[in-house]
Structure 1
Amino acid sequence: MTGAGDMGELRDGWRLLVACAVGVGLSAIALPFYAIGPLTRPIEAELGWARADIQLAILFSSGLGALTAPVTGWMIDRFGSRTVALPAIVGVSLGLLIASFATSLAVFYAGFALTAILGAGTNPVLWSRVVSGSFEKTRGAALGLALVGTALVALLLPSLIVWLVEQAGWRMAIRGVALLPIVVSLPLVYLWLRPRRRDHGASEARGDLVGATVSEALRDYRFWVLSLSILLGYLAISGTMTNLVPALVDRGIGAQAAAAFAGAVGITMIPGRVLVGFVVDRVWAPAVATTVLLLPAIASLLLRDATDPALLLLSCALLGLAAGAELDLLAFLTARYFGLAHYSKIYALAYAALATGSATAPFLFAWLHDLTGNYAASFMVSALFFAVAAGLMPLLGRYPNFAAKGCPTGMESR
């Protein structure tokens, strides 16, 4: 449990948490993901590309993010988090800048691909590793606070992009977004990303860290249950969120109003992240995850044809709770079920499932729109995926006990 005495751990590490929050919010995963929705219709209008083709760009950013995640995990262990993060922040900006000059889909995709490759060191693998290694008694709360950066981006970025598009067009909107990592993230990460322990730029398998090896994790059914649940959850949340603005605009809602509804997702992501982080320090995390995943299943059913502002706000708020919690839950559950001895590598492999969902869902949901003429089928698929993801979580069982060094994952559960 998180007690009053433990709060000093959070207080002492607040600069590190701010650096991680900004870093993950302006990462190669978050920026393209939250930008593509409000950019879809302006690009479609100017260049005539199909929505599915535009949203396919996320496959090149998040998809390559999935492929690079294991390499990123190895680099963190080998060189340390700061050495990996700083050049990657610049890489995010360069990739997005290239995408802004696109006159063909090939160049557009290349920009998003370079964002993923050059910015691989900004993805949650790094920030989660830093926080999990720097906080122990308040790990869940720390992860929730650190990863709140993506919630702030979800809240603010859609409206910023819509405003920039109205002022100067979609190309300048992307260039404005491309400036954010260099102007905001780079100085804060340079000054404050100083892990408090267990980040030595060498092998992660230190003598004072215990947990499963990579091969033990891959042989453990819980790794695959966790990965499948996260994959389905992120297929649902990614497909819904990236298509939310165009879906609402199709119903006659103005672009700014649609962006405001999408921003409601970000509003509830913030308390969702923080609250879930504090709760999992006290309550069995799979039970929390099940509850969190069932709520957006209801939201998806409401979004199928809702136009009433109150229903739309409620639906977006419920979506935000899931989007605000899943990344935190993956990081927390990986540490709880597999330990810290090889955390970066194991988390990177599980994160690959999340990134795969994030990569493929926007295209699939847009493709369903192009096929059926509306987003009703997409929202039904989203509800199903959320429900199945929720049902998988209790199968993880009790937490393993890593008190004895070298204790494998299947032993001494509690």
Structure 2
Amino acid sequence: MEFTCESLSILVVRPRTRILMVVSFCEEEYSHGQCAHISMTSPSDGQKPATTWQARFPIYFGWVIVAIIFTRSFTTAGALWSTAILSVPMKEDLGWSQSAIFAGIALRTLGAAIGGFFLGKYLDTRRGAPFLAVVSGIVSGVGLMLVALVDSQWQFWLIFGVLSGLFGAGPGALLMSAIVPKWFVRKRGRTMALASMGTGFAAMILPLVVPPFVDAFEWRATFVTLGVLTLILAVLPAFFLKTRPEDVGLRTDGDKEPEEAAARSGQTEEHSLTAKEAFRTTTLWLLIGAAFFGSFSPTAYPTNLVPTFVDRDFSLQVAGWAFAAYGFTSFTGRFFWGWLVDRIHIRRALMIIAVYTGLTVPLLQVLPDNASLAAGAIAGFGIGGWVGLNQVVWAAYFGRANLGAITGKVRPLITVSGASGPFLVAFMADVFGGFGIGIMVMALSWWICSGFLFLVRPVKRTEQPASSQPESATSP
């Protein structure tokens, strides 16, 4: 029996990789020496084949990313909160002023802003984020250990402030705003709140641990211990960090298909603006204004909390407990704020936080005697919400593809406020003999912040939406 046909196509499917291979045989082409055509296709949405261990992980790997950023936010904030507590024994041992020590904190924050400006765009690349997470973790840990050797102000400013800020805290502080929103869209509010809870956890735990440790081993050994802890918690988890779910064959929020995401959210795929496009919008500049004034108190208030109580003749241990109460409400309150922002727009949630905190920050000044110890816990509920959610706003208005580039360029403009806050409040305390003026300035900053948020309006989309692909890391 003879079988003939003009052409024959065979479809081969590799299930694990989801690669389709089509082998086509053509009689006419065979006569010219071409016996077959082979074409291969893979998923059309830019995903990598789902062969990675992250794609086969028992739970959605985005939750592992949240856990990694949680530990990183713990170490990043822990360096600041611990130094604020250690400023008391450092001041007594070295004879430095409070403002001199807090100048180092200001330099660290400014250095982080400058480092983020130049390195932020690399957090949008596949290998850039894991590499920077590892390197910045090493710099942060070693920097804390070297602080134990300082005996002059310029050494502290250089090691803890400039170098650790530029190459340690800079990339580390951007990881949450640049990475977590890439993994989640519908659950962005609650996941950002969870990831940022590391800062609240640091404020809750370290004030209880650091003062007794200082009493037993002095402040220099405490810095060495903090450095070792940073190397463990910041560096080791960073080896498992991935920039986007698409890099490991996954989709945002753990969805299986694009249609599933659209059906659940009721929205189409979000469009992203490049950094250049974002900076041309009025919305971005209003958000920068809100973030500028909203960033003053979250660093100034907790770092000056212990010195404020010590200045009122409370012991370091009692002041530490008051700081821990602040950390507890800052930590636990983010469950509420994360729940809220998934139900109302991020702008409204941040306005509620700004008004609440503007009302509660002055309690540190107006509550009498022992009652003032509760002021930190009351204000911490709002400040923790701001720390957890203010970075959601960039993805909400400008998309997720270029978050590293956008937040990296925005950060220097708003960090001037956050960096100067601890120093200015401490300086005003040195000049005026108390923290009252500084506390009222912090309250005022929240009311100005709420005014900027009130003026923010949605970005006007052009007829041709911006590309959702990340900008090149080599672009200016």
If the TM-score is normalised by the length of the shorter chain, which range does it land in?
A: 0.7 to 0.9
Partner SS state of residue 333, structure 1: helix
Q: Residue in 2 aligned with 1:58?
A: 105
Residue matched to 1:231 = 292
Identify the residue that residue 383 of structure 1 maps to in structure 2: 443
**Match of residue 412, structure 2, among 346, 352, 364:** 352
Amino acid at match of 1:85: A
Which entry has the higher C-alpha Rg, 1 or 2?
2
Distance 2:463 2:353 in 1: 29
- Does residue 170 in structure 1 map to residue 219 in structure 2? yes
Task: Decide whether aligned partners of structure 1 residues 123 and 327 sit closer, same or farther in structure 2, where only a CA change above 3 A counts.
Answer: farther
Identical positions, percent? 25
Q: 1:29-108, aligned counterparts within 5 Å?
A: 30-78=77-125, 79-108=127-156
**Letter in structure 1 aligned against 2:395:** A
Deviation at 1:69, TM superposition (A): 1.1
> Is the CA contact (8 Å cut-off) linking 1:293 and 1:386 kept in structure 2?
yes
Looking at secondary structure, tell me which structure has more helix per residue.
1
TM-score normalized by structure 2? 0.76
Which residues of 2 match residues 14-413 of structure 1 at below 5 A? Answer: 14-27=63-76, 30-78=77-125, 79-112=127-160, 113-120=162-169, 122-190=171-239, 192-198=240-246, 210-313=271-374, 315-398=375-458, 405-406=465-466
**Aligned AA for 2:197?**
V
- Matches of 1:118 and 1:349, distance apart in 2: 16
In structure 1, give the amino acid aligned to 2:212.
Answer: W
Supply the distance in 1 between the matched residues of 2:464 and 2:317 (Cα, whole angstroms): 56
Q: Confirm or deny: 8 A CA contact 2:145 2:224 kept in the other structure.
A: yes
- Equivalent residue of 1:123, what SS? helix
The amino acid that maps onto 2:96 is: W
Residues 356-379 of structure 1 deviation map (CA, whole Å, 9 limit, x = unaligned): 222111111111011011101111
* AA matched with 1:258: A
Q: Distance in 2 between matches of 1:364 and 1:108?
A: 18
Task: Answer yes or no: is the 8 Å Cα contact 1:72–1:126 preserved in 2.
Answer: no
Paired letter, 2:319: A
CA distance in 1, matches of 2:323, 2:456: 32
Cα shift at 1:134: 0.9
More strand by share: 2
Segments of structure 2 that go 5 or more residues without pairing to the other structure are: 1-57, 249-268, 469-476
Q: CA deviation at 1:265?
A: 1.6
Distance 1:213-1:250 versus aligned 2 partners, 3 A rule: same
| Stretch of structure 1 that moved more, 68-77 or 255-264 | 68-77
CA distance in 2, matches of 1:295, 1:101: 42
Amino acid paired to 2:130: R
Tell me, what secondary structure is at the counterpart of 1:97? helix
Q: Distance in 1 between matches of 2:463 and 2:61?
A: 26
What amino acid does structure 1 have at the position aligned with 2:381? L
Does 1 or 2 have the higher relative contact order (CA < 8 Å, sep 6+)? 1
Aligned-partner residue type, residue 72 of structure 2: G
1:107-160 alpha-carbon deviations (Å, 9 max, x no partner)? 111111221123146523123222111112111111111111111111112222
Partner residue, 1:4: none
Provide the C-alpha distance between the structure 1 equivalents of 2:122 and 2:241, rounded to a whole number of angstroms.
16
Aligned mates of 2:327, 2:168 — CA distance in 1: 23
Query: Corresponding residue for 1:204?
Result: none
Deviation readout 1:310-329 (Å, 9 max, x if unpaired):
4431x212322233222333
How far the C-alpha of 1:196 sits from its partner, in A, is 5.0
Question: What are the Cα deviations for residues 298-354 of structure 1, in whole angstroms up to 9, with x where unaligned?
Answer: 2221111434444431x2123222332223333211011111232111122233344
Q: Report deviation, 1:199.
A: 5.6
Where do 5+ consecutive residues of structure 1 fail to align? 1-8, 201-207, 409-414
User: What is the alpha-carbon distance in structure 2 between the residues aligned to residue 75 and residue 341 of structure 1?
Assistant: 12
